[in-house]
Amino acid sequence: MKIVFYSTNSNLFDPSTYKLKVQPSNEEQFKDFQKAHPEHTFICVSQFPASFMPEESTILLDKNLDAQNFAQELEKLNPDMAIPMSFWVEPFDWLSVNDALVGQYLEKKGIKCLYHSLETALTCFDKYRTQQKLLQEDFNIAKGIFVDHDLYFCAGSHKNVISNVYKASIRSQLEKLNLPLIIKDTVGLSSYGMTVVHTYGEAIGYLNSKRNNSNRIVEEYLDGQQYGLEIYGQPGNYTVMPPFRFSLNQYGITSPKQSAKAGPEDLSPELNKIMLKLAECLQLKGLAQVDLIYKDDKWFVIEINPRLSGMTYLYAKAMGLSVFELMYKTCIEISPLPPVNKALSLKLPILNDEEMKKVSVINGVVLLNQINDLAAKQEREKGFCECIITSSSLEEIKSSLEELKKEFPELATIQQSETILK
């Protein structure tokens, strides 16, 4: 069987400035995967930057191709099956929508393709649509309100509007929510643009400012423990992975550039049941990541990402697999997955070659994944190096972290890791 892994990343980054470095490389991991499955032919196809793809073996297509033209290029390869492996790109987390458009085209051409439907992708892309779906299906979510940007600022473009009743209604609804509040872009991603406010005046000030440049959701802040997990499979056959605990920054939210994940913790029958219900009602196909908060003995669903995520490497390495083997086992072979070892993922600063070499030989370090945007003007936007440590023992994870601490004694994510490992 000829199987294509495809990624519609992206039309944003300049390959001369956006640098990806994975150790061991995606190329090495892909070659080992190929050798383990000589019965199939595997091809990787991507638009730049191809976050999870092998560095040399991937067919790179024009970054400006739309979904149909991209799909036509895949069709030329005559695959028996196509599996999306897109990650995310700024400013919108909508590559799963693009992947669905590609999948639809391929299926019409008689090529089997395992992808989340367009409806599912659109539901998860827009946080307001996600919220409405979850409410409809009776999941626990944070109480909040939707703020339509055009209506909120309509007085600016409609001179006949004397009093903006919609804006007044938003203030009234806000004051029925419990403080503090989180303000989110409905189509934002990875905590970018997320703001925590502690008074109603702060919330109104934000909504009245230039920072409010799109539709928003204002939610009650849930001060429970944050978790994440992934779900693999397709209708009637899902695997829910045990959850990992997330660290929080000084604002009480997870940070895309400064965070740690530790675990896994036990997958309770209750959580497994909730996630299976979620997977079935969304008709997930392939891989999806879910953010959760546990508070007052209840699981709250925060966000659903129907794509490869920052947790995919973590789960794969905790099971002793490559991402390619993980996708194969869950989407094609549909075989039982190995047990998930103890693991820690934390963000380090951007490392030079010598620093990367030092970190890579620390006992338990199984992967370094570095993203470096040389064109970024602000330090926090330049990137990070993700470090994954695995072991059968929690004590060995802690020991490896102590070794890492010697190299980065003041690093906040090491302190966060120590906290969530307790």
Structure tokens at 122: 């659109």
Are 232 and 339 within one domain?
Answer: yes
Structure tokens at 76: 């030329």
Q: What angle do CA 172, 176, 177 make, to 5 degrees?
A: 120
Domain boundary among 169, 202, 220: 220
Q: Is residue 180 part of a domain?
A: yes
Are 179 and 293 within one domain?
Answer: no
Say how far apart CA 72 and CA 388 lie, in whole Å: 37
Q: Is residue 267 part of a domain?
A: yes
Q: pLDDT digits over 292-323, tens only?
A: 999 999 999 999 999 999 899 999 999 999 99
**pLDDT > 60? residue 11:** no
| Secondary structure E strands in 190-331 | 195-197, 216-220, 225-234, 237-240, 244-246, 260-263, 286-295, 298-305
Are 246 and 216 within one domain?
Answer: no
Q: What is the pLDDT of residue 87?
A: 82
Q: What is the pLDDT of residue 251?
A: 63
**pLDDT > 60? residue 156:** no
Q: What is the rounded average pLDDT for all residues in the chain?
A: 91
Collapsing DSSP to helix, strand or coil, 10 comes out as: coil
Q: Is residue 133 part of a domain?
A: no
Are 282 and 401 within one domain?
Answer: yes
Collapsing DSSP to helix, strand or coil, 165 comes out as: helix
Q: What is the pLDDT of residue 213?
A: 87
What is the chain's Cα-based Rg?
22
**pLDDT > 80? residue 155:** no
Are 256 and 364 within one domain?
Answer: yes
Q: Is residue 47 part of a domain?
A: yes
Location of structure tokens 């906290």: 419
Are 275 and 398 within one domain?
Answer: yes
Structure tokens at 214: 């799109």
- CATH number of the domain that residue 98 is part of: 3.40.50
Q: Which domain holds residue 382?
A: 225-421
Q: Is residue 60 part of a domain?
A: yes
Contact of 254 with 226, CB cutoff 8 Å: yes
Domain boundary among 220, 236, 258: 220
Which run of H or E residues covers position 21? strand 18-23
Say how far apart CA 13 and CA 19 lie, in whole Å: 10
| Sign of the torsion angle spanned by Cα atoms 28, 341, 256, 379 | negative
193 in the Ramachandran plot: left (φ > 0), alpha (ψ -120 to 50) or beta? left
CA distance readout (Å), 103 to 87, 97, 328: 16, 10, 17
Q: Is residue 110 part of a domain?
A: yes
**pLDDT > 80? residue 377:** no
Structure tokens at 360: 């890579």
**pLDDT > 80? residue 48:** no
Q: pLDDT digits over 213-254, tens only?
A: 889 999 999 999 999 999 999 999 999 999 999 998 766 666
Q: Is residue 78 part of a domain?
A: yes
Q: pLDDT digits over 75-123, tens only?
A: 999 999 999 998 877 667 888 999 999 999 999 999 999 999 999 999 9
Are 270 and 317 within one domain?
Answer: yes
Contacts of 211 (CB under 8 A, 6+ apart): 193, 195
Are 251 and 392 within one domain?
Answer: yes
Are 318 and 180 within one domain?
Answer: no
- CATH number of the domain that residue 173 is part of: 3.30.1490.20
The single-letter code of the amino acid at 24 is: P
Are 369 and 417 within one domain?
Answer: yes
Are 185 and 268 within one domain?
Answer: no
Helices (H), 209-295: 269-282
- Percent of the chain residues past pLDDT 70, beyond the cut: 92
The count of residues in the chain is 422
Are 208 and 247 within one domain?
Answer: no
**pLDDT > 90? residue 338:** yes
In a 10 Å sphere around its CB, with 0-12 CB exposed, 13-18 middle and 19+ buried, how is residue 168 labelled? exposed
**pLDDT > 80? residue 396:** yes
**pLDDT > 60? residue 368:** yes
Structure tokens at 142: 């944070």
Q: Is residue 318 part of a domain?
A: yes
Q: What is the mean pLDDT of residues 165-191?
A: 89
pTM exceeds 0.75 for this model: yes
Domain count, the chain: 3
